[in-house]
Amino acid sequence: MLTVSSNEFAKKSLLLLLGIGSLAQGVLGAEGFAQGRTVYRFDQLWQKQQKESPSIQSKSLEVEEAALASERASRHWYPRIVGEFRAVTTNDSTLSFMSLLGQRSIDSSDFNPETLNVPGNRSFQTATLGLDLPLYEGGSKHAYSRAAGAVRASKESERDAHLLLKKGEYFKLYSTLIAHLSRKDDLEDLRSQVQGVLKVYRLGDRSNPVGYSGQLGLQNLENRVNALILESTTQIEASREMLKSEWKTPEAGWDPSEKSVDEVVSREFENILREPQADSSRSSAVLSLEHATGAYQHLKDAERARHLPKLGLFAQAGLLNGERSIGNQFSGGAYLQWELFNVQSWGAVDQAAKTVSVWEGRTEAAQRSVVSGRIAAKKGVQAGMQSLALVSNSAKLLREQTRIARTLFQSGSINALQLAEVFSRRADLLVNQSEIELQLSDSVAQWLATQNWNQR
């Protein structure tokens, strides 16, 4: 059985092992982002989601539905043409006599009292074509048409707001995947270094040069790193499953092209850092509310138009085919309609006005929330980017400190507990970095929710 016979042998063994660990660092660092797998950028996947996401497709269908409703309402001034055909068999005295008049073939025998009172069964067929052309409707149909147009605009803005919301949700999942893939790689590299030290100095008893307390400290750190790796693995699997089930991502064997969240932000959302600090423009969500408010305003106008007169032209032509002959008729003229009393219309205008006020209040509250939320989200993104830059710089300094600490440990200038403290700082830094990246993705998602899709 091999034993450690001297401190010198242990130090040389540790030096050799740590050198191998440094050489393998590049390979271990690529373990999370596996080699040979298909990679996709965020914008590539997002373009795919816009076409295939069920919720986005549903919102697009709502826009199409509203567009059809608006187009139908805009044709309110078209004439109304109605055709009708009837086949009748009757022994009704009035109807029988009028059918003969319609055939224009009545004679003197038809005025016999017995014939008038008991005409027997008569059969005839009628065909009628009627036309109704509204000239003035008090503005009601025009108001309904404008309301339908406003609903269409509201649905379009609602779809845009939904796109921004879903893009934020997708970015958060994508960022979670990136953050934990990167953290897992770095943690596995750290674990290999800790295990390398433990592997060398386990070959002895409590009088080992590392010191028994140092060994316990390194083992405790190894357990912590294993727990963090397990957490990242779980998050990676959960993110992939959500992306696969809800967003229908590509084949299973794929990885993000970007290696850090700030890399995605710098390329995809650079306008966050360029827009004015106080931006009071309307978001897509607020625009949807504004258009909805406009629709209710038009409906209020339509309610008011109920009390106005309606003017139009009408015409009707018909044929009657009976037992004696075929007759035709024609009538036409103008009409004036005016609703003078309808108890169901009482208070309708006041109710519509209250509804408009409610939606105006909602719109104003939403706009204030958007302005404040936009400022907070922008500051969050800026703080996140700056924090990640500082973390990146700290990582460089910590790598240098780790190199020096390993050298000092090999020479016996520091003990195992002190080396474990340096390793632990690296673990803390990795955890802090992933947390900042996830906070950054939250801020980006919040910022997206305050934007106008057509001005992003």
**SS3 per residue for 65-116:** HHHHHHHHHCCCCCCEEEEEEEEEEECCHHHHHHHHHHCCCCCHHHHCHHHH
Q: Dihedral, CA atoms, 250, 255, 261, 267, nearest 10 degrees? A: -70
SS3 273: coil
The residue count for the chain: 456
Tokens of 82: 């109605």
Q: Hey, what are 54's tokens?
A: 């069920």
Architecture of the structural domain at 80-136+312-341: Single Sheet (2.20)
pTM tops 0.85, yes or no: no
* 132: helix, strand or coil: strand
Q: 68: which residues sit within 8 A by CB, 6+ positions away?
A: none
The identity of residue 176, as a single letter, is T
**pLDDT the model gives residue 36:** 58
Give the number of other Cβ atoms within 10 Å of residue 1's Cβ: 3
How far is the C-alpha of 322 from the C-alpha of 125, rounded, in Å? Answer: 6
Of the options 1.20.1600.10, 3.40.30.10, 1.10.1040.10, 3.40.640.10, the CATH number for the domain spanning 7-74+140-303+357-455: 1.20.1600.10
Helix and strand numbers (H, E) in the chain are 11, 6
Can you give the pLDDT at residue 361?
97
Question: What pLDDT is stored for residue 314 in this prediction?
Answer: 97
Contact 335, 309 (CB under 8 A): no
Dist. CA 396–CA 2, nearest whole Å: 38
pLDDT of residue 25: 36
Identify which of 75, 81, 111, 78 has the alpha carbon closest to the alpha carbon of residue 96: 111
137: left (phi over 0), alpha (psi -120 to 50) or beta: alpha
Task: Kindly report, as residue ranges, where domains of CATH 2.20.200 are found in the chain.
Answer: 80-136+312-341
Tell me, what amino acid is at 2?
A: L
Question: Is 63 in contact with 148 (CB distance < 8 Å)?
Answer: no
For the chain, give every residue range classified as CATH 1.20.1600.10: 7-74+140-303+357-455
pLDDT tens digits for range 314-373: 999 999 999 899 999 999 999 999 988 888 888 999 999 999 999 999 999 999 999 999
Sort strands 254-256 and 38-40 into parallel, antiparallel or unpaired: parallel
- The pair of structure tokens assigned to 49 is 């989601």
CA 454 to chain centre: 15
All residue ranges of the chain with pLDDT < 70 are 1-36, 201-211, 250-252, 273, 275-279, 456
Please report the pLDDT score of residue 177 as a whole number: 95
pLDDT digits (tens, 9 = 90+) for 67-124: 999 999 999 999 999 999 999 999 999 999 999 999 998 888 888 888 888 888 999 9
Tokens of residue 420, six digits: 């474990």
Give the pLDDT of residue 178: 96
**Res 424: pLDDT:** 94
Cα Rg for the chain, rounded, in angstroms?
A: 40
